[in-house]
Amino acid sequence: MTAIAVDTAIERVRWEAAYRNAFPRVYRGLCALGARPDEAEDALQDAFVKGLERRIDQPLASVDGWIYVVASRAWRGRRLRERFLTPWTLLVDREAPSVLDTSLEVLAALRRLPLRQRQIVVARYVVGLSQEETAELLGIARGTVSATTTQAIATLRRHMEVQK
């Protein structure tokens, strides 16, 4: 397949449509990882521009996954330390009805996981990637994704039981 730089109108149109479709899931995924809303926006913008610049001779297996991985790298690159995580109470709409406490608890518990576990859990259950996509995009084995997910969910459950 012949390569063409992503600098033409049609490629921009396609990319913009895909990016807009992915934005809600990836934005929320970044916030769940620990990014502030402004950081998540900056990181997504970085991913959008990188997408325009990439060559399309190798089509993406998962646009959402690619944006998630590139944006999370951009966010991490801007961070000096992880302790500057946003308070999770600022992320969830406190006016929304029902299960407020559970929402806060699960986000708080997520923040207590190691970064790698957080990345995988968010990729699987917030961004919506399959085990195969997660493994390919993060450069790890599928079995590692499966084992890490199980371990992370079990840890989340323990954290939430302690909080009750």
Interaction site with another protein (CB under 8 A): 1-4, 6-20, 23-24, 27-29, 31-32, 37, 41, 44-45, 48-49, 51-53, 56-57, 59-60, 63, 91-93, 96, 99, 102-107, 110, 121, 125-126, 149, 153-154, 156-157, 160
Q: Which residues contact 141 (CB under 8 A, 6 or more apart)?
A: 135
Report the distance separating Cα 19 and Cα 125, nearest Å.
19
Q: Which is nearer to another protein, 52 or 140 (CB)?
A: 52
* Least Cβ distance, residue 31 to another protein (angstroms): 5
Q: Which is nearer to another protein, 129 or 156 (CB)?
A: 156
Q: Which is nearer to another protein, 80 or 95 (CB)?
A: 95
CA 33 from chain center: how many Å? 7
Tell me if 117 sits within 8 A of 134, measured CB to CB: no
* Least Cβ distance, residue 74 to another protein (angstroms): 14
Q: What is the SS3 assignment for 44-86?
A: HHHHHHHHHHCECCCCCCCHHHHHHHHHHHHHHHHCCCHHHCC
Positive/negative CA dihedral, 4, 12, 76, 157: negative
- The residue among 66, 88, 84, 64 whose CA lies nearest residue 76 is 84
Q: Which is nearer to another protein, 99 or 115 (CB)?
A: 99
Q: Which is nearer to another protein, 45 or 132 (CB)?
A: 45
* Least Cβ distance, residue 148 to another protein (angstroms): 13
* Least Cβ distance, residue 131 to another protein (angstroms): 11
* Least Cβ distance, residue 140 to another protein (angstroms): 18
